[in-house]
Amino acid sequence: MTGQFITFEGGEGAGKTTQIARLKQRLEELGKTICLTREPGGSPGAEKIREMLLSGAARKLGPRGEAMLFAAARADHVDGVIAPALVRGDWVICDRFADSTRVYQGEAGVDNETLDLLETIAVAGTRPDLTILIDIPADIGLSRVSSRSKTDDSGGPDRFEADTIATHERRRSLFLDLAKQQPERFVVVDGRHDPDHVAGEIWWAVHRHFKDLLPEQKDNSTTATSAEG
Ligand code: TYD
């Protein structure tokens, strides 16, 4: 595979969508071909499963059943979209990936052994080169989500957004734990800052990570927190 695989992770209202669009634009300006995608979903089969998951229709399967559906969606997405794009040499940017299952379904009680198995089967060896975790306190993220859903036609919080603030805070710490465990893959940025500042930190981190593949960068005045330190 010759392409590069970047994932974005974080709690609700962290600002992933805005930051993903900005990173895509910046990489395109450097001549990269970007495959922009998301989970759950991203391929026709996975988008059907997304609807079941986010509407709450799959809730009665329990956390393990839901984790299996996320994994099934991921398998279709990897096989049909992500792996072919990487083979073509594209840069893939994915809004959420396997770390979200570890955090959301792990928090809901699915044990690590099951999560390991499901991940191995779903990703079939396709793993992110870099994961950007946008960290935000749950109360700030949720208040952004609730003011957004008043102005768009999303119809209110989805199955996972509607959980308690304590649940969202536990997810936040699980994301941060993952970042600590895999510092070579993760970069943590503080999502409380304004979008320009966050975009600067992300760009600095991406540039540092892929320095051999991108033109030399003069302005490195912003500071992303590497999970290494
Ligand atoms: P989405 O509308 O894509 O929201 P967001 O902007 O927060 O990414 O909703 C995806 C929801 O699904 C989100 O609440 C996280 C949850 N999720 C899981 O529980 N497990 C997973 O493996 C993935 C990919 C997402």
Residue-wise pLDDT for 2-26, tens only, equals 899 999 999 999 999 999 999 999 9
Identify the pLDDT of residue 158.
86
Record the tokens describing residue 200, joined without a space. 């600067």
Q: What is the mean pLDDT of residues 121-131?
A: 98
Q: How confident is the model at residue 85 (pLDDT cuts 50, 70, 90)?
A: very high
- Distance from residue 39's CA to the centre of ligand 1 (Å): 7
Under 8 Å CB-to-CB from 93, ≥6 apart: which residues?
6, 7, 8, 20, 23, 24, 27, 34, 35, 36, 37
Nearest 5°: the CA angle 176, 12, 119 is 60
Identify the pLDDT of residue 157.
78
Report whether the peptide linkage leading into residue 40 is cis, meaning its omega lies within 30 degrees of zero: yes
Identify the pLDDT of residue 162.
87
- Distance from residue 40's CA to the centre of ligand 1 (Å): 6
Multiple choice CATH, 4-226, 3.40.50.300, 2.130.10.10, 3.30.70.920, 3.30.70.260: 3.40.50.300
Record the tokens describing residue 53, joined without a space. 């998951």
Please give all residues whose beta carbon lies within 6 A of any atom in ligand 1, as ranges. 12, 38-40, 54, 70, 95-96, 100-101, 104-105, 158, 160-161
Q: Is the pTM of this model over 0.75?
A: yes
